[in-house]
Amino acid sequence: MLLEVLASHVILIGLAGFAAGAINALVGSGTLITFPTLVALGYPPVTATMSNAVGLVAGSVSGTWGYRAELSGQWDRLRWQIPASLAGGVLGSFLLLHLPEQVFIMVVPVLLVLALVLVVVGPRIQSWARSRAEAQGRPAEHVSPVRMALLVFGTFAIGVYGGYFTAAQGILLVGVMGALLPESIQRMNGAKNLLALVVNVVAAIGYTSVASDRISWPVAAIIAASSLVGGVVGARYGRRLSPNALRSTIVVVGLIGLYRLLAV
């Protein structure tokens, strides 16, 4: 019966998975396409969340690989952010299995609006931080211990959120990094892809280990195959966008995702 139902939905799920993989590589928030699609097709919210998280790992891998060049020179910072994402993802996955999903769904719109504001004002914050550093005789690319601590904590908090719900964690990461780091948005996008991949892998392992019976494996397989291709396409064309075009794309996709989330 399940396979018969999937046969009538496979095209819609495949298209949603492709779009989610491309958007995750380019912006983040691809879950705001696949999750509402699965819910609209009749899958329970927790099943939709888990199946989607498992399937989108493939798209996260291809998107991260496509942005591998942008990761160069960021490892001194990522060696702190990756463990934070890892720990956050573990905690978030645990919470999904023990808390009502509505808890995070109610918080998502507020977090998404905040992240979009940070994406828009990020260049001004970076400019202010750069001017302040130069006035104090420090290199413009210097990241103070306070900002590093805030960055690691923010990465952990977003990891918790991502392990629980996954939707829009990429936009949240870009928003936080844009407010705290003297990096170009393309380089932040590369870091975002890697950190989101860490959380997605943790969540997928957690869901598979303790709640595999609540995952729709045919759905996860369709999303995996289609998002893998989508991640390649998204990374290929996303890296060609100018900073303003990429920033505008993030905001537009975020607003569309916000609408879709509220309409679920």
- Distance of alpha carbon 241 from alpha carbon 246, whole angstroms: 6
Average confidence (pLDDT) over 104-132: 67
pLDDT score for 88: 94
pLDDT score for 242: 80
Question: Is the confidence at residue 2, as pLDDT, over 80?
Answer: no
**What distance, in Å, lies between the first and last C-alpha atoms of the chain?**
25
Per-residue model confidence as pLDDT tens digits over 210-248 = 878 888 888 999 999 999 999 999 998 888 878 777 777
Tell which phi-psi region holds residue 28, choosing left (phi > 0), alpha (psi between -120 and 50) or beta.
left
Where do the H-state alpha helices sit in the chain?
Answer: 2-26, 31-40, 45-66, 75-96, 102-135, 145-164, 169-180, 185-211, 217-238, 243-263
- Count the neighbouring beta carbons within 10 Å of the beta carbon of residue 109: 15
pLDDT score for 4: 47
Question: Is the confidence at residue 22, as pLDDT, over 60?
Answer: yes
pLDDT score for 256: 74
Angle (CA) 85-225-165 rounded to 5° is 35
- Of 157, 163, 158, 174, give the one whose Cα is nearest residue 115: 174
Cα–Cα separations (whole angstroms), residue 207 to 39, 53, 99, 124: 18, 9, 14, 40
- Model confidence at 135, pLDDT cuts 50, 70, 90, reads low
- Distance of alpha carbon 89 from alpha carbon 102, whole angstroms: 18
N residues, the chain: 264
Of 196 and 136, which is predicted with more confidence? 196
- Residue 228 DSSP SS3: helix
- Distance of alpha carbon 1 from alpha carbon 21, whole angstroms: 28
Question: Is the confidence at residue 1, as pLDDT, over 50?
Answer: no
Mean predicted lDDT score pLDDT of the chain: 81
Per-residue model confidence as pLDDT tens digits over 173-192 = 888 888 788 788 888 889 99
Q: Do 115 and 174 form a contact (C-beta atoms < 8 A)?
A: yes
